[in-house]
Structure 1
C-alpha cells in the first residue's frame, strides 16, 4: 500500500466527499472507465443507478487487484453520469470501498450519453502503488 498524503489547500472550500489534492510516491496505475458489465459482458442493473454503481465499483476493485493495488492506493476518480441525480447512489457504492475520511480526488461530469443507452455511469480511476 502506498503512503498517500491529503494536503488541505488554503483558500479552497472543503470538498464534499472528495479531496482536492492527493500525492504519493510510487508507480502510476490507470484504470479505464468501468461500466456495469458483469464478467460475461452483460449489463447489471439496467435502469437502476444504485445497482450499476455497485457493479462499477466491483469492477474497479477487480481491476485494481489485477494491478496489485487497492482502493487505498486510488488518488483520483472521474465519474461520468447521464444524470447528476445519480451521485448519491454512486457515493453510497463508493463509500463501501474508500476511506471516507480521506477520499480520493474526484470529478463528476454529467454527459449526454455513454457508449450504450443501458449505461448510466462510468468511472475511471488512477492509483499510485509502490
Structure 2
C-alpha cells in the first residue's frame, strides 16, 4: 500500500497538515477541512455566508480534482457551521452544495454547529472523503 500527501499550490498554505491524503488501494482520498480562504490564505467573503460557502466548495473541488477524483466521487462530507450563522441561511448552503455534488447519489453527510472555527471570520468548514475504483 502506498500513501501520498500533498497540498495543491492553488489552496491556502497549510500549517502542520496536508490538504490531501491519498491511499492507493481501492483508493480512498481524505480531504482536510477546507475553509473560505484563497491560495494566499486570505479570507474570502468576510461576514458573507453565501460567498464563504461558494469558496469552500470551490476549494473542495480543487483539492479533490488534484487527487485525481471528481466531486461525484465524494462518499462522506462533514460540514461545520459556526453558531453565528442563522439557521435560515442553511438553504443557501444546500443550494450551493447541490451544484457541486452528485444529487442523484449524494454523499453521506454530517452538519455540525460549533462555537467557532480555528480562525476568526470563517463561518463554514468542510472535510470530505472520496473513493475511487481501481
| TM superposition score normalised by structure 2 | 0.75
| Equivalent position SS for 2:72 | helix
For 1:67, the equivalent position in structure 2 comes to: 67
| Inter-partner Cα distance in structure 1 for 2:62 and 2:72 | 14
Which aligned segments of 4 or more residues in structure 1 are displaced greater than 6 angstroms? none
- 1:76 touches 1:106 (CA, 8 Å); kept in 2? yes
Which structure 2 residue ranges, 5 or more long, are not aligned?
Answer: 1-24
The one-character-per-residue Cα deviations of 1:9-28 (angstroms, maximum 9, x if unpaired) are xxxxxxxxxxxxxxxx9211
| Inter-partner Cα distance in structure 1 for 2:86 and 2:33 | 17
| Inter-partner Cα distance in structure 2 for 1:95 and 1:69 | 18
Post-superposition shift, 1:35?
0.3
| Inter-partner Cα distance in structure 1 for 2:91 and 2:27 | 31
| Equivalent position SS for 2:104 | coil
Q: Which has the higher contact order (CA 8 A, sep 6+)?
A: 1
Which structure 1 residue ranges, 5 or more long, are not aligned?
Answer: 1-24
The one-character-per-residue Cα deviations of 1:24-81 (angstroms, maximum 9, x if unpaired) are x921100000000011111110011110000000000000011101011000100000
| Inter-partner Cα distance in structure 2 for 1:129 and 1:84 | 36
Relative to its length, the structure with more strand (as a share) is 2
For 1:7, the equivalent position in structure 2 comes to: none
Partner of residue 103 from structure 1, selected from 92, 97, 106: 106
Query: In 2 relative to 1, CA 126–84 (structure 1 residues): closer, same or farther, beyond 3 Å?
Result: farther
For 1:39, the equivalent position in structure 2 comes to: 39
| Equivalent position SS for 1:96 | helix
| Equivalent position SS for 2:75 | strand
